[in-house]
Amino acid sequence: MLAELVRSAQPPTLLDVRWTLAKDGRAAYAAGHLPGAVFADLDADLCGQPGAGGRHPLPDPAELQAALRRLGVRAGHPVVVYDAGGTNPTGAAARAWWTLRWAGHPDVRVLDGGYAAWMAAGQLVTTEEVDSEPGDFEVHPGHMPVWTEADAADRRNTLLDARIPARFRGEVEPVDPVAGHIPGAVNVPAAETVDAAGLLKPLHIDGDRVGAYCGSGVTAAQLVLALWEQGQRPALYVGSWSHWIRDPARAVAEGDSS
């Protein structure tokens, strides 16, 4: 149990990755966090700069290594990541888990249910700022399946869209300049990965080649995590919709049809 590990002589490295589209979670972290947790900025620490690769592209390996070491990530030492949790997952902790696994860290876990579940269980929280010891983790990228736009366009693959149905159908688009979805995609909203308590529930998608995308590759990581827990090995289209629409020649679909 994580509560026991947190109190142990060798606790895991705890990363608080609370984040939403509107803001990072610094204020939430300052108001209360797990004992020993360090705040990790999803945008600045775990993703590349917005641009040609989308809004949350893959980070530069050297920059990621520097950030992870600053956060205290060590070789051979377990890492636990968490976000706000709840029944409408942002995918922030899942993207942190995915990024660390992509970078070659073999022992990364996600706190099931996130901060909300921790609080609901009556566990200890603190407002104490944590000064982490510098880590020594070396980034070796490429340890998680990644899809390109060509993979996303390949109708032989099973492509999952993790956004809410209204965004998938193109009825609303609060972030990107073009609404709709990638032709051939199937809408599996990230909320379908959790139960009424916000805990991860089984998700299985038929197909040998399965990948997920969303607006910018964050929420889609929630689908990847849920499928990974069931023994599947899906890919993440990191650039996602924000990358797909950068080329006006790429087709856009609307409505419920794939």
Active-site residue list: 214
User: What's the CA gap between 218 and 239, in Å, rounded?
Assistant: 10
Spatial CA neighbour of 113 closest among 216, 201, 175, 235: 201
Q: Please, which residues have CB within 8 angstroms of residue 56's CB and are 6 or more apart in sequence?
A: 42, 43, 47, 48, 50, 95, 216, 217, 218, 238, 240, 242
What is the phi/psi pair of residue 149, to 5°?
-65, -30
Q: Please, which residues have CB within 8 angstroms of residue 24's CB and are 6 or more apart in sequence?
A: 18, 41, 42, 43
Contact 209, 174 (CB under 8 A): no
- Quickly count: other Cβ atoms within 10 Å of residue 201's Cβ: 13
Residue 73: its H or E element:
none
Token representation of residue 75:
């070789």
